[in-house]
Amino acid sequence: MKILVVGGGGREHAIIWKLRQNKSIGEIHCAPGNGGISDNAVCVPIKATDIDAMAAYAKQQRFDLVIVAPDDPLYMGMVDRLNEEGIRAFGPTARAAEIEGSKVYAKQLMKKYGIPAAGYEVFSDYQSACAYVESCEMPIVVKADGLALGKGVIICQSADEAKSALDNIMVKKVFGDAGNRVVIEEFLEGPEVSVLSFCDGKTILPMASAQDHKRICDGDQGPNTGGMGTFSPTPRYTGALKAEIEQTIIQRTLYALSMEDREFKGVIFFGLMLTKDGPRLLEYNARFGDPEAQVVLPRMKNDLLGVMNAVIDGRLEDITLEWDERSAVCVVMASGGYPGHYQKGIAIDGLERVSDDAIVFHAGTAKKNGCYVTNGGRVLGVTALGRDIGEAREKAYAEAAKISFDGVQYRKDIGIK
Ligand code: AMP
Ligand code: GLY
């Protein structure tokens, strides 16, 4: 059994770490991978978005399975292409991944099928969008339609802020064609929950819940990031609320996708907000979350390869997901300056001192002369399991404290909420 994982962050490291528990898997390759992944897999310098090169490499190496983990290659059609070439692949087709690739499409789907979500309007004309925000109550949320590296959502406190966001997205095109259209959405408030689920087009199996921390600073202050830490499970996601979400959001999405002839095989990530008026769906992602995967996969008892095969072959109804009762916390260690400008190539110290109490997932690292150096904004994710969130937190922070690099920053309040 020989597998290729496409991507090179903490999520991909977590996927490979989990796959490694299955001893029938021989070689794992990762493109492009990172410094830490190179200890568990053969890293190949192919960009995750280079569909031609990836397909050629997959054919040449005769992989039994290619797992496409990041959003852009999925939306660009990497799985479609691999399938055309006769290569077995895990992940949705471009048509199915549109639930993440186009916020306009996702919002239309939610509305058509009565999936509870924020009210919205769509604009492709800058002047009309500006006129509309003048009539809105503040705050309001402006979203670029397409993929924007997680930066395309702007919460605006005034009409002027909204117009400046619209100018950046629609006129200055800071996200390129992703800004040809915008969604302007009602502002919602409440705790957020991420529910990832495996879907084979006929059956959808939710995984354990998780909660991300998007802002850079403690107390949810400062700019948004890709995610500064996670915990799982989310204590609020139980009982009647869980049942309501499964019925009105998760199962209804499966129904919607099948009615729209967009068979989805892969992972659907539901980004939810628990408002005082009930749960609302903020967004879909067509993949594992990062750093959600770093807390959910360590708690999963099933063999990941077995579940992925069931997804591809449409056999999910035969699978029951099983979870470690313990809680997990992941603390992301980031470069100084992130999410703005940061330096790369800084030596990382102390990794060898981390005990078996924690798993260190590498995100933005490289290996230079046998040593690990920083190579991205989010550098490492330190995950620990514990009897409860509190114990998992303590362990994760105790182990993170052993690691250092110049400029390192991490939140001190992951899992406190
Ligand atoms: P999205 O990519 O749509 O999930 O948005 C990224 C983040 O922006 C979410 O995780 C929320 O924290 C925030 N957000 C998105 N939509 C809304 C909304 N309608 N009201 C308040 N916050 C939002
Ligand atoms: N952590 C949020 C995401 O992966 O999009």
Q: Which domains does the chain carry?
A: 3-91 (3.40.50.20), 119-186 (3.30.1490.20), 192-318 (3.30.470.20), 327-400 (3.90.600.10)
pLDDT at 149: 81
Q: Is the CB of residue 283 below 6 angstroms from any atom belonging to ligand 1?
A: yes
CA dist., res. 221 & res. 232, Å (int):
22
DSSP letters, 294-305, are HHHGGGB-S-HH
Q: Report, as an integer, the average pLDDT of 259-269.
A: 97
- The residue contributing the CA closest to ligand 2 atom 5 is 289
Q: How confident is the model at residue 405 (pLDDT cuts 50, 70, 90)?
A: very high
pLDDT band at 417 (very low <50, low <70, confident <90, very high): confident
Of the CA atoms within 13 Å of residue 325, those in its CB half-sphere come to 1
Measured in Å, residue 11 CA sits from the centre of ligand 2 at: 10
Residue 54 reports pLDDT greater than 80: yes
**pLDDT tens digits, 62-92:** 999 999 999 999 999 999 999 999 999 999 9
Output the CA–CA distances (angstroms, integers) from residue 312 to 134, 156, 315, in the order listed.
48, 41, 8
Rounded to an integer, the average pLDDT of 127-148 is 95
pLDDT reading at 151 higher than 90: no
Q: Is the CB of 241 under 6 A from ligand 1?
A: no
Pocket test of ligand 2: the residue of 269, 273, 284 to mutate, having most ligand atoms within 8 Å of its CB, is: 269
Q: Which residues lie across from 334 on neighbouring strands?
A: 378, 409
The token pair at 191 is: 């705790």
Q: How far apart are CA 363 and CA 219, in angstroms?
A: 24
Q: What's the confidence (pLDDT) of residue 299?
A: 98
pLDDT of 150 higher than 80: no
Give, in order, the Cα–Cα distances in Å from 229 to each of 77, 103, 193, 403.
30, 25, 13, 16
CA nearest neighbour of 311 among 147, 196, 211, 194: 196
| Residue 224 pLDDT grade (very low, low, confident, very high; cuts 50, 70, 90) | confident
Looking at every residue in the chain, the average pLDDT score rounds to: 97
- The minimum-distance atom of ligand 2 relative to the CA of 287 is 4
